[in-house]
């Protein structure tokens, strides 16, 4: 199924490889990488990302208890989604505005608007549905200068994580 999605995007762009976007252009694979559960990390070695607007690529159905359900990979309240692509040929759908905002801030701080050759870690730290954790549910860090770093939400200064960062959860 994911091969078909990637093939569809390739056909749309009339090229052999997907065309990647730049965070500067957005104002608001063959494998699928699932979003981490609370307490889990996922690391991605990126080659780029795409803003997807095609409903055929965004919307999908699945079975639960013998019933067919439908869902979308759109970010909330918009008609598009952000799909990250890894060097390993996998894809990851950005599922929250928090992750999107942190990725955009990291791209700007590193001056790499496409996120090409950037290694990121997405940590699902808390349940964002609980009001006290709304702003701390997701932490996106980047491997920069041989250290895992994330950005302070208010100052946009680097927060350097210790060697046990990836063992949290």
Domain map (residue ranges) of the chain: 20-52+81-159
The helix/strand/coil state of 70 is strand
How many CA atoms within 13 Å lie on the side-chain side of 29?
22
- According to DSSP, residue 146 is labeled T
Distance in angstroms (rounded) separating the CA atoms of residues 148 and 140: 10
Distance in angstroms (rounded) separating the CA atoms of residues 133 and 27: 26
Distance in angstroms (rounded) separating the CA atoms of residues 160 and 145: 11
Q: Tell me the whole-structure pTM to 2 decimals.
A: 0.78
The pLDDT, as a whole number, for residue 162 is 85
- Each residue of 113-140: pLDDT tens digit? 999 999 999 999 998 888 888 889 999 9
- Each residue of 26-83: pLDDT tens digit? 443 347 788 889 999 999 999 999 999 999 999 988 888 999 999 999 999 999 999 9
């Amino acid at each position: 199924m994911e091969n078909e999605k990637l093939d569809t995007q390739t056909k749309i762009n009339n090229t052999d490889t997907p065309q990647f976007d730049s965070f500067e252009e957005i104002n608001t694979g063959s494998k699928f990488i699932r979003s981490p559960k609370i307490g889990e990390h996922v690391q991605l070695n990126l080659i780029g990302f795409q803003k997807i607007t095609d409903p055929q690529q965004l919307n999908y159905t699945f079975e639960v208890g013998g019933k067919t359900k439908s869902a979308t990979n759109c970010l909330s309240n918009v008609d598009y989604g952000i799909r990250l692509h890894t060097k390993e040929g996998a894809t990851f759908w950005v599922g929250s505005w928090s992750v999107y905002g942190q990725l955009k801030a990291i791209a700007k701080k590193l001056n790499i608007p496409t996120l090409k050759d950037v290694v990121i870690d997405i940590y699902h730290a808390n349940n964002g549905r609980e009001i006290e954790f709304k702003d701390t549910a997701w932490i996106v860090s980047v491997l920069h200068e041989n250290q895992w770093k994330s950005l302070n939400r208010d100052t946009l200064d680097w927060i350097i994580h210790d060697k046990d960062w990836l063992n949290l959860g």
